[in-house]
Amino acid sequence: MSLRTVVPIPPALSVRYGHSSAGRAWLASLPDLVQGRLEHWELAVDLAPGALPWHGHGGVVVPVLRTDGTPAALKIAFPHDEARVERHALALWGGYGAVRLLESDAGTCAMLLERLDGGCSLQGVPLDEAAGIWGGLVRQLSLVPDTRPQWQEFNHVAALAEQWSDDLPAEWEQQGRPFPRWLLEAALEVCQTRGAVGRRSGHDVLVHTDFHFLNILARLQGGFAAIDPQPMIGEAEFAVAPLLWNRLDDLSRADPAAGLRQRCT
């Protein structure tokens, strides 16, 4: 019998998922899930004594070593739709522009991933340089659909646009009409157009829909890779929004709109 490895649960995850019965059940099962994957994939925990594993909004990431000493990362996510399809996107990318998937287990939402430098994201890179790296990665990630079965697992941006067409007016009212009506109507026009036309688009690619600077980490061998893709099928431009609404403090106070336009070029 192998010695059980105790991996502490980050307090932030306990706070986030402790408010629902499903979340509490997942938190209670997490030590066994981690132990099961450590044993099945023959991994050794690579944490300093007393150190906490990494975590994101939706899961825990444990630094590990494979039997040959190669550093890797064991990620176990709270089961939800985005987590269930993440492995399919990473498999399609094959490490090209995104973190490399080494192993996965659908039943536990567990993945063994290439180890990245969790302390070095694109958030800390000067904005002009970061935007260029971001653009290069978008081009790498924008795969055109093919016959591989993973493509059947993703939702389409057009369906999301149709949903927003239904939801935005009510949400605008509930939030106390936080912006002018003309802006709401412009957004609805875009959603309605993309919902109808997007399904017939000849420009569909695989889209990382949460592609902000903190979701781009440095590779140990150099360069950067995307993580946490929340993948969908649609136009590549759909990935631009997170680039615009992050690092707003870096924009010029004199002309912030010009700074946003510059990020898009």
On whether the CB atoms of residues 75 and 94 are closer than 8 A, the answer is no
Rounded to whole angstroms, how far apart are CA atoms 227 and 13? Answer: 19
Tokens at residue 258, please?
């010009």
Bridging pattern class, strands 224-226 and 216-219: antiparallel
204 in catalytic set? no
DSSP annotation of 19 reads: T
On whether the CB atoms of residues 233 and 157 are closer than 8 A, the answer is yes
Q: Which of 210, 249, 250, 255 is catalytic?
A: 210
Task: Please name the amino acid found at residue 90.
Answer: L
Tokens at residue 51, please?
């150190």
Rounded to whole angstroms, how far apart are CA atoms 61 and 73? Answer: 6
Which residue numbers are catalytic?
210
